[in-house]
């Protein structure tokens, strides 16, 4: 075969490999149907005198923030409240009641959010509102995603005016919700498999740093819609991780290829967007192909030298 044909063949392999990689990743993303999600209720622990208004504000804003996420199909807040009334349920809800609500709404996930506190720094004119959120899977009956964020807002106007302060609180809530939504999305998108049976209470899963996973992440091992074990990540490589088992269901036996879910991930709101993850996958595949090409050229040159 002539040198020109060899080069053309290698270029074709590069283009074909990149196209196949991109199409494969796109197909994976396209094949993942949006999860039906609802914000079930918001618990206000802040002590701020709002007569329940802050809970309604968080429910509305978080619902709107989740609508911006492609991974979710969001159930409107008025439908959630109507379903609660129909079931004669009043917040705060137990896990069993959350599962009931999920079944009524035909939702995959139902979210419970908490306003931890309201901080007003009058010297700097800044309002801070820490929020947490937990998403419970209706089919599994356990929490499958946890998120937390502290929203901040710089007050504009007279900081002694209660209306101005309340507007700042709403602004801080909006900021927190915009950070929580991507964290819940991360759990929804990241799926992995158990690679090896447990050894000394340690497991490995095929999810790593290139997917944004960090040390301290909480994993959930699932088999046939049954939660079996929880683990905490202690070491992360590029494409896999090591975790130590924290809890295992009595009688459960962990085997390779069981599904692994990422329940929480430290600093999840700082993770790169999903599009960037896709681009990194393509770059990695390109690099692997270029290495193969370099090796192929090396073989060709060596063959010519020998001849």
Over the stretch 38-81, which tens digit does the pLDDT of each residue have? 999 999 999 998 888 899 999 999 999 999 999 999 999 999 99
C-alpha closest to that of 142 among 220, 56, 62, 39 = 220
pLDDT of residue 16: 43
Q: How many CB atoms lie within 10 A of CB 192?
A: 21
pLDDT at 163 over 50: yes
pLDDT tier at 274, thresholds 50, 70, 90: very low
- pLDDT tens, position by position, 6-25: 334 333 433 444 334 333 43
- pLDDT tens, position by position, 73-117: 999 999 999 999 999 999 999 999 999 999 999 999 999 999 999
pLDDT at 141 over 70: yes
Rounded to whole angstroms, the Cα distance separating 39 from 97 reads: 14
> What is the value of pTM for the model shown?
0.76
- pLDDT tens, position by position, 229-273: 999 999 999 999 999 999 999 999 999 999 999 999 985 434 444
DSSP 69: -
Contacts 24+ apart (CB under 8 A), 295-303: 296/10, 297/10, 300/3, 300/6
CATH superfamily of 35-189: ABC-type transport auxiliary lipoprotein component (3.40.50.10610)
| CATH class, 3-31+191-267+276-306 region | mainly beta
State mean pLDDT over 193-200: 93
Task: Compute the mean pLDDT over every residue in the chain, rounded to the nearest whole number.
Answer: 84
**Beta carbons of 118 and 166 less than 8 angstroms apart:** no
Q: Do domains 3-31+191-267+276-306 and 35-189 have the same CATH topology?
A: no
| Structure tokens belonging to residue 52 | 């329940």
Rounded to whole angstroms, the Cα distance separating 103 from 110 reads: 10
**Beta carbons of 216 and 267 less than 8 angstroms apart:** no
pLDDT of residue 26: 38
For residues 1 and 188, which has the higher predicted lDDT (pLDDT)?
188
Reduce the DSSP state of residue 226 to 3 states and report it. Answer: strand
- pLDDT tens, position by position, 197-241: 999 999 999 999 999 999 999 999 999 999 999 999 999 999 999
pLDDT tier at 296, thresholds 50, 70, 90: low
Share of the chain above pLDDT 90, in %: 69
Q: Where are the domains of the chain?
A: 3-31+191-267+276-306, 35-189
pLDDT of residue 252: 93
């Amino acid at each position: 075969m002539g040198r020109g044909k060899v080069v053309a063949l290698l270029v074709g392999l590069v283009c074909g490999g990149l196209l196949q990689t991109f199409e494969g990743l796109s197909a994976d993303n396209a094949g993942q149907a949006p999860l039906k999600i609802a914000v079930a209720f918001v618990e206000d622990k802040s002590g701020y005198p709002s007569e329940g208004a802050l809970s309604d504000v968080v429910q509305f804003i978080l619902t709107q923030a989740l609508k911006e996420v492609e991974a979710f199909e969001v159930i409107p807040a008025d439908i959630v409240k109507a379903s609660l009334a129909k079931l004669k349920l009043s917040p705060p809800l137990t896990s069993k009641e959350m599962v009931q609500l999920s079944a009524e709404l035909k939702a995959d996930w139902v979210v419970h959010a908490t306003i931890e506190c309201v901080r007003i720094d009058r010297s700097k004119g800044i309002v801070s509102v820490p929020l947490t959120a937990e998403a419970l899977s209706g089919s599994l009956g356990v929490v499958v995603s946890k998120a937390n964020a502290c929203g901040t807002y710089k007050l504009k106007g007279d900081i002694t005016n209660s209306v101005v302060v309340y507007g700042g609180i709403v602004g801080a809530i909006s900021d927190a919700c915009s950070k929580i939504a991507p964290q819940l999305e991360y759990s929804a998108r990241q799926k992995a498999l158990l690679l090896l049976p447990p050894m000394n209470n340690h497991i490995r899963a095929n999810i790593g740093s290139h997917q944004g996973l960090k040390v301290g992440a909480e994993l959930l091992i699932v088999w046939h819609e049954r939660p079996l074990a929880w683990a905490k990540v202690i070491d992360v490589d590029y494409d896999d991780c090591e975790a130590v088992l924290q809890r295992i269901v009595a009688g459960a036996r962990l085997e390779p290829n069981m599904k692994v879910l990422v329940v929480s991930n430290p600093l999840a709101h700082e993770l790169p967007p999903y599009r960037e993850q896709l681009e990194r996958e393509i770059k990695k595949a390109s690099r692997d192909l270029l290495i193969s090409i370099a090796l192929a050229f090396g073989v060709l040159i060596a063959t010519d030298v020998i001849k």
